[in-house]
Structure 1
Amino acid sequence: MKKVAFKTLGCRLNQYETDALASQFQANDYELVSFDDPADVYVINSCTVTHQSDHKSRNFINQANKRNKDSVLVVTGCMANNAKEELENREEINYVVENDQKTSVFSLVEAHFKGEIIHPSKLNADLFSYGSTDKGFHTRSMIKIQDGCDNFCTFCIIPSVRGRAASRPIQDILTNIREVIAQGAKEIVITGVNIGRYEFEGYKFDDVVEQILDLDGEFRLRISSIEPDGFGNKFLSLLNHPKMTPHLHLCLQSGSEPILLQMRRMYTVKRFKEIVNKVRSINPNFNITTDIIIGFPNETEDDFSATCDAIKELNFGHVHTFKYSIRKGTRAERMPEQIDERIKTKRSEIIRNLSDKIKNNYRKSFIGKTQTILVEKTDGEIGSGYGEYYIPVQFSGVNIQKNKFYKVNITDMEDGSDPVLKGEMI
């Protein structure tokens, strides 16, 4: 029985694609092992959004090569598109597979072990034929509905490495979800690069969400990440559906209007705040998390202060902070007034401290309330997982089982930068 190991960097879409590939390998009698263990196949699903992402991807390539020099090493993901020539010139890498051919990684590896060496460029290009994720790494079942992006933000390399926007046929999405629900999935997470811009044969994003919510079965629906410009009134009306989780990752990037304009974002800070206020009018506790880029070219102290003020005002459940990283070929690469790394580091630390304080206060507000937890791990009479608001919870009870819903009374909270709520099963 051959062994396969995966390492995934970057976004939820990459996580979904790794889950699907891992399920395919296991369905064909491969044993899934940790990336730290010896394996016959190593698959690195890379990210290239920042310099740090590239650095991490290269480190994992080096680690895989040191563990087993006779293994097959496949590098796929966004770095495989962005640095293809560099990676193909590395002798330790057997195959460099671009994003639109990632679905064929298993057939490529199988052919290799049968003595047939296929160049990845000869593989079929297909963005959506990944199959089930029932044997993946996550209890939540991710479903890919869209890929690529047409926005071309000035800082972003994604349109170059993921391609132009493409949407999956709605009936394929619904069929896929019916399958995973039949296999026992309790939480569906829809994902893509820019899912709010979904469009297929007249169907828009909110139509997809509506039809998913109408499906039979005991499940709840979570949205992985959405851009503010893809947020419509119909979608807003669906947020109160009993199967919809009260959590959205809504990307702000900056609280400064001039910086958003230079980023070529398709919304204003004013519009973003209007969206948040509308969502919170439905549910005051609604968890809105976000991304912030620190140190974008020309970012002044006033721009940075505006971002801090926005974070305080909007009471985010979590802020994922990035230091701006120059990506070749983007408009921002050519902008003057690039910010010194020391300033970026200082501002990032301020944002992280501010975010931790707000996140802790937000999570504390759930003490004394009830959450519905989907269990991901068990340890004796202790279960852990996430509630509907996407907050980690650990609770005590009897006969706790994985992939089951439990009503939990929240009694306390751990200290730390990512505090876990504590509770007791009702």
Structure 2
Amino acid sequence: MKKVAFKTLGCRLNQYETDALASQFQDKGYELVQFDESADVYVINSCTVTHQSDHKSRNFINQANRRNKDSVLVVTGCMANNAKEELENRKEINYVVENDQKTSVFSLVEAHFDGEIIHPSKLNADLFSYGATDKGFHTRSMIKIQDGCDNFCTFCIIPSVRGRAASRPIQDILTNIREVISHGAKEIVITGVNIGRYEFEGYQFDDVVEQILNLEGNFRLRISSIEPDGFGDKFLGLLNHPKMTPHLHLCLQSGSEPVLLQMRRMYTAKRFKEIVQTVRAKKPDFNITTDIIIGFPNESEEDFTATCDAIKELNFGHVHTFKYSIRKGTRAERMPNQVDERIKTERSEILRNLSDEIKVNYRKSFIGKTQSVLVEKIDGNIANGYGEHYIPVQFTGENIEKNQFYKVKITDIEDGSDPVLKGEIL
């Protein structure tokens, strides 16, 4: 039995695609091992959204090469698109596979072991022909409904490496979800690059969500990262559905109106706040998480203060903070008044401390409440999983099973900046 190992960097979409590939390899008789173990095949699903992402991808390429020089090394993902020539010139990499041919990684590897060397450019281009993810790395089943983006934010390289927006046929989505539910999936996560802009033969994003919620089965639905301009009143109404989880990752990026305008975001800070207020009016403890970019060109102290104020006002459950990173070919690369790296670091520290404080206070608000926890990991009689609000919960009990729901009363919270809630089974 051959062994395969994966390393995934970046977004939920990459995680989904890795899960699908890992499931396919195992269905075909491969043993899935950890990336730090010896394997016959190493697949690195890379990210290139920042310089740090590129650096991490290169480090994992080096690690795989040192671990087993006789193995097949495949590099795919966004860095494979953005730095294709550089990667193809590295002798230790056998194949560099761009995003739209990622679905053919398994057939490429099998051909290699059969003595047939195929250049990845000859592979079929298909964004959506991934199978079920029942043997992947996550208990939650991610479902890809869309790829690519047409927004062209001034800081973002994603349209260059993921391509223009494309939507998956709605019947294929529903068939895929029925399949994973039949395999025992209890939580479905919709993912894509810009899922709110889904459009296929007259169906919009909220139509997809509505049809998924109407499917039979004991499951709950979670929405991955979504742009604030990507949905309307119908979707907001669906948030009250009993199968919908009370959590959204809405990408704010900045609390400053001038900075959002320069970023070419398709919403204002005022509109973002209105969305959050509308959601919280129905469910006050609804978990809103977000992304923030620190040190975008021309970001002043006043702009930074506006972002800090927005974080305080909106009481986010979690904030992902990123220092702005110049990406070649974007409009922001040519903007004047690039912010000094030291200022970016100082602002990042301030924002992270603020975000951690707000996150801890938000999680403390669940003490005394109940959560429906989907168990993802069991260590002895200690179970770990996530509640419907996408907050980590730990509890103890006998005969606990993975991938099952348990009603847990929250009794305590760990210390630290990223605390886990503690509870007991009801």
TM-score (norm 2): 1.00
- Among all aligned residue pairs of Structure 1 and Structure 2, give the percentage whose two residues are the same amino acid: 88
Q: How does 1:215-234 map to 2 (within 5 A)?
A: 215-234=215-234
Distance in 2 between residues matched to 1:392 and 1:315, nearest whole Å? 18
Q: How does 1:404-415 map to 2 (within 5 A)?
A: 404-415=404-415
Distance in 2 between residues matched to 1:20 and 1:357, nearest whole Å? 36
Structure 2 residue aligned with 1:80: 80
Structure 2 residue aligned with 1:102: 102
Structure 1 residue aligned with 2:90: 90
Q: How does 1:103-182 map to 2 (within 5 A)?
A: 103-182=103-182
Q: How does 1:15-414 map to 2 (within 5 A)?
A: 15-414=15-414
Letter in 2 for 1:273: K
User: How far has the Cα of 1:109 moved from its partner?
Assistant: 0.1
Distance in 1 between residues matched to 2:296 and 2:384, nearest whole Å? 38
Structure 1 residue aligned with 2:4: 4
User: How far has the Cα of 1:380 moved from its partner?
Assistant: 1.9
Instruction: Give 3-state SS (helix, strand or coil) of 1:229's partner.
Output: coil
User: How far has the Cα of 1:124 moved from its partner?
Assistant: 0.2
Distance in 2 between residues matched to 1:318 and 1:139, nearest whole Å? 21
Instruction: Give 3-state SS (helix, strand or coil) of 1:133's partner.
Output: coil
User: How far has the Cα of 1:231 moved from its partner?
Assistant: 2.1
Distance in 2 between residues matched to 1:25 and 1:166, nearest whole Å? 26
Distance in 1 between residues matched to 2:205 and 2:149, nearest whole Å? 14
Distance in 2 between residues matched to 1:331 and 1:402, nearest whole Å? 47
User: How far has the Cα of 1:255 moved from its partner?
Assistant: 0.2
Instruction: Give 3-state SS (helix, strand or coil) of 1:355's partner.
Output: helix
User: How far has the Cα of 1:282 moved from its partner?
Assistant: 1.1
Structure 2 residue aligned with 1:417: 417
Q: Could you report, residue by residue, the CA deviation over 1:352-380 in whole angstroms, capped at 9, with x for unpaired residues?
A: 00000000000000000110000001122
Distance in 2 between residues matched to 1:18 and 1:415, nearest whole Å? 33
Distance in 1 between residues matched to 2:195 and 2:370, nearest whole Å? 31
Distance in 2 between residues matched to 1:415 and 1:356, nearest whole Å? 12
Instruction: Give 3-state SS (helix, strand or coil) of 2:289's partner.
Output: strand
Q: Could you report, residue by residue, the CA deviation over 1:360-407 in whole angstroms, capped at 9, with x for unpaired residues?
A: 000000000110000001122211100000000000112100000000
Distance in 1 between residues matched to 2:147 and 2:65, nearest whole Å? 31
Letter in 2 for 1:58: R
User: How far has the Cα of 1:11 moved from its partner?
Assistant: 0.1
Instruction: Give 3-state SS (helix, strand or coil) of 2:32's partner.
Output: strand
Q: Could you report, residue by residue, the CA deviation over 1:262-308 in whole angstroms, capped at 9, with x for unpaired residues?
A: 00000000000000000001100000000000000000000000000
User: How far has the Cα of 1:116 moved from its partner?
Assistant: 0.2
Letter in 1 for 2:342: R
Instruction: Give 3-state SS (helix, strand or coil) of 1:267's partner.
Output: coil
Distance in 2 between residues matched to 1:36 and 1:382, nearest whole Å? 26
Letter in 2 for 1:117: I
Q: Which runs of 4+ in 1 moved over 4 A?
A: none
Distance in 1 between residues matched to 2:62 and 2:382, nearest whole Å? 38
Instruction: Give 3-state SS (helix, strand or coil) of 1:393's partner.
Output: strand
Instruction: Give 3-state SS (helix, strand or coil) of 2:229's partner.
Output: helix
User: How far has the Cα of 1:254 moved from its partner?
Assistant: 0.1
Instruction: Give 3-state SS (helix, strand or coil) of 1:288's partner.
Output: strand
Letter in 1 for 2:61: I
Distance in 1 between residues matched to 2:378 and 2:79, nearest whole Å? 36
